[in-house]
Amino acid sequence: MTAHAELDGIKTTPQEALRLPRVPEPADENDILREQLEYLIRHAAERSLCSCSECQRYLRVRALLLEIFSEPEPQPVQQSAALPIAA
Report residue 33 CA to chain centroid gap.
5
Report the alpha-carbon angle 71-61-38, nearest 5: 125
The string of pLDDT tens digits covering residues 36-57 is 999 999 998 988 878 899 999 9
Per-residue model confidence (pLDDT) at position 4: 53
pTM above 0.75, yes or no: no
Q: Give the up-direction half-sphere exposure of residue 8: CA atoms within 13 A in the CB hemisphere.
A: 8
32, 26 contact by CB (below 8 A): no
**Domain boundaries of the chain, sorted by first residue:** 29-67
SS3 percent helix, strand, coil of the chain, rounded to 5, is 55, 0, 45
Q: What's the pLDDT band for 73 if we cut at 50, 70, 90?
A: confident
pLDDT for res 23: 85
